[in-house]
Amino acid sequence: MPLSFGHCKALIAATLCCLPLLVQADDRAMRDALEAARNQEWQKIDQAAIDDHLLAGYVEYHRLRHRLPQAEPARVLDFIERHGDSPLGEWMRGQAIARYGHAGRFGSLLAVADGVPEGTARQCYYYTALLGRDPRAAAEGGRELWRVGRSQPDACDTLFLALRSRGEIGEREIWERKMLAWQAGETGLMSYLGRMLGSRWQEARDTVERLQKDYAAVTRVPTCIGPDCQGSSALFAAAMHGFNRADTEAAHEAWRKIAPHLELDEPSRLAIERDLVFYSLVRDIRQNRAWVDEALVGMPDAELLELRVRTALAERDWRGVIDWVHRMPDAPRQEARWQYWLGRALEQLGDTATAETAYAAAADERSFFGFAAADRLGRPYALNLERNGFDDGFREQVARWPAVQRTEALIRIGEQGLANSEWHAAVARATPREARALADYAQRRGWHAKLVQTTITGQMWDALDWRFPEAYREHFLHWGRATGVDPYLLMGIARRESAYNPEALSPAGARGLMQIMPGTATQLSRQLGISDPGPHGVLDPALNIRLGSTYIRDMLDRYRGNRLAATAAYNAGPGRVDRWLRDAPEEFDLFVESIPFRETRAYVQAVLAYRAIFESLANGGNSEGVAVLSPAETSVRYDRSLLARN
C-alpha cells in the first residue's frame, strides 16, 4: 500500500529524530572499541558495531600495529594508501619502520619506507637497511648520526658497528665525537669512546685530562694532537669552547697566543672565534672590543651583529649603530626592528630626512617596532588585514570533508589529542584556499586554539581575525573591568602565553590560558579569598583569566601603571625587572632592547603588538587612535623611578 505524503513526512521526521541516538550509540561503540584496541583486548571489540564508523581506521591501526613485525609490507602499504588523507597512514609507516628494523626485517623496512624517516632510531634502522643496497648513502647518513656529543639509541648500534668494521668510522671520527661529548659535558660517553681508541692516541687522551683540570694549559699543550695531527682541530675547538664559557677574557688572551701556531680546519677555527665574539659581547668585556670588531668584519653572522648593535645602543654609540646595522645580512637588516634603530640613530645624528625613510620602511611591518616607527611618523598602523569569506554552499561541502568529519567524531568521543592531529594534518596537506576554508570552519565552531594553530600551519599571517579571534572575550572584558586592567592587554598576554589553548601546560608547569604557575595560583587565591583551585581547577578559563588579571594588576601597581614593565615582569618575574630598571637606559625603546633575556625581549614586543591588534580589530580593523604604548609610557624614564617602592 503506497504511503501518503503525510505518512512519508512523519516517517522522515521519525527517522531524523532517531539519528542523534544512532550516532550516540555508534560513538559509544567506537569509544569502547578504541579503548579496547589500545589495551589489546580484541575480544571486547564489537566489530559489527564499528565497521561503518568513519573512525574504524583507528581501531584497524592498533590491530595492524599489534601484528608487526610479522605483518607483511603489502598489508602495511595497503593501510597507508587507504588512510593517506589522515595522520594514520604516516603513523603506520613509522611504526612499521621501527618494528621491522628492530626485528632485522630490512627488506620489509625498505619496502614501506618513503625516504629518510623522522626520528633518530628510525633513521638508524633505515640506514642499516641501506648497508647492502646503497652503502654510500648508508655511510653518509650513519656518519651524520654518529657526529653528535650525546648517546644515541640502541637502534644505532648495528649501523655504527658495521660502519666501523668497514672503515667508514675510524679513530679520527671516534676522537671527534669524544670531543663533542666533552663540549656537551657527557663524561660517560667520553670514557666509552676513549676505550675505542688505540695506543697511538694515548698522548691525546692525556692532553684532554690535563685540560679538563686547567683550561689555561691550552697554551702549553702540544699543537699536534693524535696520529698525523688528526685530532688537533677537534681538541682545540672543544677546549676553547669550555675556556670561553669559563673565563672569556683569559680565553681570548690564550687564543691570541696559540692561534698563529695552530693548523686547524676552517670550521673549527671559525667556531672558536665565534664563541669568543659571542661571550665577549654578552659579558661586555671591553678589553676584547677591538679584536671583536675586527673579527666581526669577516663574520657576517646575524646573531653576533645583533649583539654588536645592542652593545652600541647601550653605549649610545649612534654612529656605531648605523655601521653595524649596515653590516647585517640583507634579510635581518630589512626587519622593522633594525630599520627602526637605523632611523633612531640617524635622527640622533641630525639626519632627519634619511631617518624618516628608515622609519617608513619599518612602519610597513606589523610588529612592536613597526608600530613604534609609525608612531614617530604620526601614521596609523599597517595591519595589512586580509579578509576571507565563503558562501554557504561551499561551507556545507567543507563540513562533509572526511578530515573534518573525523575531527568532529574524535571530539565527540573525547579524543582531543587525536582530533588535533587529524585537523592539523589536514591543514598541512591543504591548498591555500582549502586551508582558509578549514580556518573558517574552526572559527564558526568556536575552536579557538585549533583556529590559531591553523593560521600558523597554513602561514596565514595576515588573516588577523583568525590569528587573533574573539576568544573568551566576555571573561577578558569582565575581569579587565573588575581589576582595572586594559582588557586588550589581557588578551595579548593570553594569546602569547597559550595561543588560546585552555589546557596548555608549559615544561615549567605553568597552566591554562594565561599560564599560571600552581604556586602563584595558590598565592593569588589566598589574596582573593577563594579556594585554592589546585592544578586542575586552574585550567578553568574564567578562573584562569581572573587569576592572570589579578597578577598583572599587581605588576601594574608595582610599576606605576606601566604596561611595558608589568608585561616584562609577567614573563621574567618582578625581581629581575626591578634589577633591569635600576641599570636601565631611560627611553622606552632602549629599555626594551636592553632586556638581557631574549625570550622576555620577544615576549614584551609580542604582547604589546598583539594588544594593539586586538584593539584595532575591535574597531573594525581600523588602527586610527590605537597606540602600542600610551604617551606616558613612551615619555617616562625607564629607571628606578618607575618602581612604586624605590
Q: How far apart are the first and last CA of the chain?
A: 93
Residue 628's H or E segment, with its range, is: none
Dump pLDDT digits (tens) for 170-225. 999 999 999 999 999 999 999 999 999 999 999 999 999 999 999 999 999 999 99
Does 452 share its domain with 503?
A: no
Q: What is the pTM of this model?
A: 0.91
| 344 in any annotated domain | no
Neighbours of 98 (CB within 10 A): 20
CB 187 within 8 A of CB 161: no
User: Which of 437, 461, 485 delimits the end of a domain?
Assistant: 461
pLDDT for residue 529 is more than 70: yes
* pLDDT > 90: percent of the chain: 94
The alpha carbon torsion through 295, 296, 300, 303 (nearest 10 deg) reads 120
Residue 104, pLDDT score: 97
Does 411 share its domain with 278?
A: no
Neighbours of 277 (CB within 10 A): 26
CB 373 within 8 A of CB 336: yes
Sole residue written with cell 685530562: 209
Cell of 56: 574504524
Cα separation of 495 and 452, whole Å? 9
> 516 in helix, strand or coil?
strand
Is 633 among the catalytic positions? no
The alpha carbon torsion through 615, 618, 619, 621 (nearest 10 deg) reads 90
Omega before 69 cis (within 30°)? yes
Does 435 share its domain with 480?
A: no
Residue 23, pLDDT score: 54
| 385 in any annotated domain | no
CATH label of the domain that carries residue 602: 1.10.530.10
Cell of 323: 655601521
Does 439 share its domain with 477?
A: no
pLDDT for residue 1 is more than 80: no
Which of 19-28, 58-67, 233-242, 624-633 has the weakest average pLDDT?
19-28
| 386 in any annotated domain | no
Tell me the average pLDDT of the chain: 94
Does 488 share its domain with 631?
A: yes
Cell of 513: 590560558
pLDDT band with cut points at 50, 70 and 90 for residue 24: low
The alpha carbon torsion through 151, 155, 156, 161 (nearest 10 deg) reads 120
| 1 in any annotated domain | no
CB 249 within 8 A of CB 221: no
Neighbours of 519 (CB within 10 A): 9
Q: For the chain, how many structural domains are there in total?
A: 4
Does 501 share its domain with 597?
A: yes
Axis crossing angle, helix 352-363 with helix 368-377, rounded to the nearest 10: 130
CB 591 within 8 A of CB 564: yes
pLDDT for residue 75 is more than 50: yes
Cα separation of 570 and 548, whole Å? 9
Residue 378, pLDDT score: 96
Summarize the confidence of residues 51-74 as an average pLDDT.
Answer: 97
pLDDT band with cut points at 50, 70 and 90 for residue 18: very low
CB 175 within 8 A of CB 194: no
Is 485 exposed, middle or buried (CB count within 10 Å of its CB: 0-12, 13-18, 19+)? buried
Does 531 share its domain with 635?
A: yes
CB 457 within 8 A of CB 428: yes
Does 536 share its domain with 606?
A: yes
Cell of 474: 566576555
The per-residue DSSP string of 522-544 comes to HHHHHHHT----HHHHTTSHHHH
Summarize the confidence of residues 83-99 as an average pLDDT.
Answer: 97
The per-residue DSSP string of 327-380 comes to HS-HHHHTSHHHHHHHHHHHHHTT-HHHHHHHHHHHHTS-SHHHHHHHHHHT--
> 511 in helix, strand or coil?
strand
pLDDT band with cut points at 50, 70 and 90 for residue 22: very low
The alpha carbon torsion through 47, 49, 52, 55 (nearest 10 deg) reads -80
pLDDT for residue 274 is more than 90: yes
pLDDT for residue 475 is more than 70: yes
Alpha-carbon distance values, 588 to 484, 599, 604, 609 (Å) = 23, 18, 12, 15
Contacts of 120 (CB under 8 A, 6+ apart): 145, 152, 153, 155, 156
Does 441 share its domain with 498?
A: no
pLDDT for residue 645 is more than 90: no
Dump pLDDT digits (tens) for 381-398. 999 999 999 999 999 999
pLDDT band with cut points at 50, 70 and 90 for residue 25: low
Neighbours of 8 (CB within 10 A): 11
Dump pLDDT digits (tens) for 394-443. 999 999 999 999 999 999 999 999 999 999 999 999 999 999 999 999 99
Alpha-carbon distance values, 208 to 182, 186, 242, 306, 474 (Å) = 9, 14, 12, 34, 63
Structural domain including 531 reads 473-642
Alpha-carbon distance values, 264 to 74, 201, 267, 272, 524 (Å) = 52, 18, 8, 10, 58
CB 607 within 8 A of CB 492: yes
| 493 in any annotated domain | yes
pLDDT band with cut points at 50, 70 and 90 for residue 586: confident
User: Which of 284, 299, 314 delimits the end of a domain?
Assistant: 299
Is 419 exposed, middle or buried (CB count within 10 Å of its CB: 0-12, 13-18, 19+)? buried
Alpha-carbon distance values, 446 to 118, 400, 440, 451, 471 (Å) = 33, 18, 10, 8, 8
Cα separation of 526 and 544, whole Å? 14
Does 440 share its domain with 490?
A: no
Contacts of 498 (CB under 8 A, 6+ apart): 449, 504, 512, 513, 514, 515
> Residues for the chain: how many in total?
646
Q: Which of 185, 173, 317 is nearest to 238 (CA)?
A: 185
| 319 in any annotated domain | no
Summarize the confidence of residues 518-547 as an average pLDDT.
Answer: 94
Given 176, 497, 593, 615, the catalytic residue: 497
pLDDT for residue 574 is more than 60: yes
Contacts of 294 (CB under 8 A, 6+ apart): none
User: Which of 80, 109, 130 delimits the end of a domain?
Assistant: 130
pLDDT for residue 134 is more than 50: yes
Does 627 share its domain with 499?
A: yes
Cα separation of 179 and 17, whole Å? 71
pLDDT for residue 13 is more than 80: no
Backbone phi, psi, residue 511, to 5°: -130, 145
pLDDT for residue 15 is more than 60: no
Does 481 share its domain with 626?
A: yes
pLDDT for residue 95 is more than 60: yes
pLDDT for residue 609 is more than 80: yes
Residue 237, pLDDT score: 98
Contacts of 297 (CB under 8 A, 6+ apart): 327
Cα separation of 350 and 346, whole Å? 6
* DSSP letter, residue 226: S
| 412 in any annotated domain | yes
Provide the CB-side half-sphere exposure for 9 (13 A, CA). 3
| 614 in any annotated domain | yes
pLDDT band with cut points at 50, 70 and 90 for residue 585: confident
> 156 in helix, strand or coil?
helix
